[in-house]
Amino acid sequence: MKNLKGVALLGQSGGPTSVINASAAGVFLEALKHPELITGVYGAVHGIKGVLNEEFYDIGKEDLTELERLKNTPASMIGSVRYKLKDPAVDDTDYKRIVEVFKKYNIRYFFYNGGNDSMDTANKISKFLHDSNWDCNVIGVPKTIDNDLNITDHCPGYGSAAKYVATTLMELYHDATVYDTPQVTIVEIMGRNAGWLTAAGALAMAEGQGPDLLYLPEEVFDYDKFFKSVKNLIDNKGKAIIAVSEGVKDAEGKYIPEHFTDMHKDAFGHAQLGGTAQILAEQVKKQFGVKVRAIEFSLMQRCAAHLASKVDVREAFNAGKKAVREAIKGTTDKMVAFKRVSNNPYKINYILIPLEKVANTEQTVPKNWIKPNNLGMTQEFLDYARPLIQGDDKASLEDGLPRFAKLKLIRVKKI
Amino acid sequence: MKNLKGVALLGQSGGPTSVINASAAGVFLEALKHPELITGVYGAVHGIKGVLNEEFYDIGKEDLTELERLKNTPASMIGSVRYKLKDPAVDDTDYKRIVEVFKKYNIRYFFYNGGNDSMDTANKISKFLHDSNWDCNVIGVPKTIDNDLNITDHCPGYGSAAKYVATTLMELYHDATVYDTPQVTIVEIMGRNAGWLTAAGALAMAEGQGPDLLYLPEEVFDYDKFFKSVKNLIDNKGKAIIAVSEGVKDAEGKYIPEHFTDMHKDAFGHAQLGGTAQILAEQVKKQFGVKVRAIEFSLMQRCAAHLASKVDVREAFNAGKKAVREAIKGTTDKMVAFKRVSNNPYKINYILIPLEKVANTEQTVPKNWIKPNNLGMTQEFLDYARPLIQGDDKASLEDGLPRFAKLKLIRVKKI
């Protein structure tokens, strides 16, 4: 719908990344440039929950220099959420409330920044708004370190997390090989079903300073084969560095920690994982009696903004900007996506894909990009991933520490 | 002893840091400048073990540009060791062997880079060489992220590790506060008996983006008080971020994991720790039913060279350089140390202190620098620590990843 006049609202959803705020900066700074159509720029306090509770930040009251600093500030400055809207066919209470709030605050542009669950949320909201005769252009802005969104070449957040994984594995390689005694280091990397982030370990491997083995959830985890590989490394090199995705499953479809602990489910029905590296390390110690280290990259891999990729920051920012530009032109029900034109020189086009095509789908690593016997990734993967980790872009230092954005976060008065 | 002519040998010992190789660069590059006295520059393969095994790298065969790159390459490029020499009064086999090897290879300058155990080793070796009538100038170069060496104002390695701790806690602060649901994040930081590194969390606190509570091993860990503090934070803020040293002990003198696992001892008789954060997080979850995260900074805190402090890199390099300059002037049995002249502007002098004064001693955090109720550190600590984390100095990027030093590591032919 063209020439809509009203408030532009951004919500952030799901797990943070180093650059989700860069996308927010893109949305906010671009939206503030169009006062002829956009009468107010709001940030939803904790995503869709902020909408339901009529809680918004008035971004128009922020300093532009601080909004610029969002580019290098990790996590979700306006708050994120893990709240799954029900299927409107079953229970449309939340949707009715959202329409009510959108009307009350004259919200005519809605940007939702998140992963596949969030794109599903945005899609459902958009349909309900349409059925309720409330004109509002809805655009999704992708983000996820998991890099598992459909159709788009890659996702904002992935490049920086991949750079963290590869850089840190290179540093650990140096640390884990200083003694002349046998040592097995097992590093656990995020990724429930998609192994993109663990695959980034191959970038360190390619420098000759990375892990020996990579275990992605795309392949069945075979305990016997794993212990055999580790034993070979101990016997031949005295050292083994192994990167394993938190989401690897054995032939019975069980996660490694499932053998040991009851699993709890989060609001989306996903299993809450953890402990994969630790359990494997304990088993290795038991079997081979060598020194072991279990390391989890934990939240650091998704919030280490000091190690963000310049390409990633730029693309995340541009994705937010593009969303606003498209919305004011009348585009709706789309997600901003990347289409790769070439690897060298690296070039992408910003494109739009229907929200429903990304909603609740998952793009895993192509199996033919994974080398046999957990020996890493093919050249195709390296060519794909390398452009995404290029360059540095981080907050300036103050007192030797990053000067992150400081927003006033002034609430919009409830009507 | 002045005008000694012979080989200069460097050994690295103990746990790596981000800048131990910067000290090596200082020793090597300076030693190569004095061919009139120093006839060869060797690196011991795995510290004192390399001496016992007659295994040395011939540093004279390396490219100078690669030796320069050591400044920004983490861990111990020539290999480290955790091997404790026996008391020579009980068993002098190793010492006799060392004298034999020093004579055989005409080693006249011995530099040992390590912590207090290593200074003890250097001191004992020096005494034995003297008693064996082998003239050799022995200088210690300090390193330890633990910052626990006596007399010196601080230790190379601490500033970079402190910068990692403070920066990462700031990033985690952003990540751990994005949801509107209660969450307790417990971060475990290295430090067996000295809490210097955990104290660095106060630098993040001072930015208003850090942990709520710090637990240092200098103070008795009180379970009841801990749970009460956590409950207060959950009730009042919904969030708690807690930095805890791996070495905290309760009133009975027991480490937290001691309640749960048998403890193993390493070669120096130190307890091998780990799991403190995890155990506390599990207990918090049990008692308060909130979402918890246990995070270990693990090896990353000591090898994240991409986040090294410029001041630390410079001082580590200069300490190595100073060691060589002093040794060729005839100084022996000393460790290079720092004496602070002023905080603002930050200025230190490089001084020399007797090895025996640092050997096996431990400098813990002054108790009057620790705020009551685990609320952080005093202004005195901040004034002390802040200069040490200033500036960035890291490896240049190649393919988006750090280009670390690549040494040829050519062995000296055994005589």
Closest-CA distance of chain A to residue B399, Å: 7
Q: What's the average model confidence in pLDDT over A5-30? A: 97
pLDDT for res B193: 94
Beta carbons within 10 angstroms of residue B305's beta carbon: 30
Q: What is the mean pLDDT of chain B?
A: 94
Closest-CA distance of chain A to residue B37, Å: 30
Beta carbons within 10 angstroms of residue B124's beta carbon: 21
Cβ of B401 within 8 Å of Cβ of A392? The answer is: no
Contact A114, A143 (CB under 8 A): yes
Q: Say which of A175, A204, A303 has its CB closest to residue B172.
A: A303
Cβ of A304 within 8 Å of Cβ of B168? The answer is: yes
Residues 6+ apart with CB under 8 A from A133: none
Cβ of B167 within 8 Å of Cβ of A386? The answer is: no
Give me the percent of chain A exceeding a pLDDT of 90.
90
**Confidence category of residue B287, pLDDT binned at 50, 70, 90:** very high
Torsion of CA B339, B340, B341, B342, to 10 degrees: 180
Cβ of B167 within 8 Å of Cβ of A401? The answer is: yes
pLDDT for res B262: 43
Is the predicted pLDDT of residue B271 greater than 80, yes or no? no
Q: Say which of B172, B179, B307 has its CB closest to residue A306.
A: B307
Closest-CA distance of chain A to residue B290, Å: 13
Looking only at the bridges linking them, the beta strands covering A183-189 and A239-245 are: parallel
**Confidence category of residue B257, pLDDT binned at 50, 70, 90:** confident
Q: What's the average model confidence in pLDDT over B216-223? A: 97
Cβ of B79 within 8 Å of Cβ of A178? The answer is: yes
Cβ of A401 within 8 Å of Cβ of B170? The answer is: yes
pLDDT for res A258: 83
In sequence order, what DSSP letters do the residues of A3-19 get, joined into one string?
A: T--EEEEEEE-SS--SS
Q: What's the average model confidence in pLDDT over B233-237? A: 97
Q: What's the average model confidence in pLDDT over B200-211? A: 98
Closest-CA distance of chain A to residue B111, Å: 18
Q: What's the average model confidence in pLDDT over A374-400? A: 98
pLDDT in tens, A311-356: 999 999 999 999 999 999 999 999 999 999 999 999 999 999 999 9
Q: What is the CA radius of gyration of chain A?
A: 22
Q: Quote the CA–CA distance of B413 and B312 in Å, as a whole number.
A: 35
Assembly ipTM: 0.96
User: Which residues in chain B are contacts of A170 at CB distance < 8 A?
Assistant: 401-402, 404
More confident residue, A1 or A93: A93
**Alpha-carbon separation of residue B138 from B86, B115, B154, B156, B262 (angstroms):** 19, 15, 21, 19, 39
Torsion of CA B307, B293, B298, B213, to 10 degrees: 70
pLDDT in tens, A151-185: 999 999 999 999 999 999 999 999 999 999 999 99
**Confidence category of residue A259, pLDDT binned at 50, 70, 90:** low
Amino acid at A65: T
Q: Quote the CA–CA distance of B378 and A317 in Å, as a whole number.
A: 39
pLDDT for res B260: 58
Q: Say which of A46, A389, A404 has its CB closest to residue B170.
A: A404
Cβ of B74 within 8 Å of Cβ of A171? The answer is: yes
Cβ of A300 within 8 Å of Cβ of B295? The answer is: yes
Q: What's the average model confidence in pLDDT over B288-315? A: 97
Residues of A catalogued as catalytic: 146
Closest-CA distance of chain B to residue A75, Å: 5
Q: Say which of B175, B300, B307 has its CB closest to residue A302.
A: B175
pLDDT for res B272: 43
| H or E element that contains A106 | none
| Nearest chain A alpha carbon to B166 | A401
Amino acid at B202: A
Beta carbons within 10 angstroms of residue A207's beta carbon: 18
User: Which residues in chain A are contacts of B190 at CB distance < 8 A?
Assistant: none
pLDDT for res A62: 98
Q: Which long-range contacts (CB under 8 A, 24 or more apart) does A123-130 make?
A: A123/A333, A123/A355, A123/A356, A123/A359, A124/A85, A124/A87, A124/A88, A124/A95, A125/A48, A125/A85, A125/A95, A125/A98, A126/A332, A126/A333, A126/A355, A127/A88, A128/A88, A128/A92, A128/A95, A128/A98, A128/A99, A129/A98, A129/A99, A129/A102
Give me the percent of chain B exceeding a pLDDT of 90.
90
Looking only at the bridges linking them, the beta strands covering B183-189 and B291-296 are: parallel
pLDDT in tens, B384-399: 999 999 999 999 999 9
Contact B186, B277 (CB under 8 A): yes
A140 strand-pairing partners: A112, A335
Torsion of CA B82, B87, B92, B93, to 10 degrees: -30
Instruction: Count chain A–chain B contacts defined by CB atoms under 8 A.
Output: 168
| CA-wise closest residue to B200 among A294, A185, A399, A112 | A399
User: Which residues in chain A are contacts of B177 at CB distance < 8 A?
Assistant: 75
Q: Quote the CA–CA distance of B362 and B124 in Å, as a whole number.
A: 18
Cβ of B179 within 8 Å of Cβ of A46? The answer is: yes
Tokens 């009510």 found at: A100
A187 strand-pairing partners: A243, A295
Q: Give the SS3 label for residue B397.
A: strand
pLDDT in tens, B170-190: 999 999 999 999 999 999 999
Q: Say which of B175, B302, B392 has its CB closest to residue A75.
A: B175
Rounded to a whole number, what is the distance in angstroms from the first to the last CA of chain A?
26
Catalytic residue among B146, B148, B212, B393: B146
Contact A241, A169 (CB under 8 A): yes
pLDDT for res B356: 93
Contact A115, A124 (CB under 8 A): no
| CA-wise closest residue to A317 among A68, A144, A48, A65 | A68
Q: Quote the CA–CA distance of B370 and B381 in Å, as a whole number.
A: 8
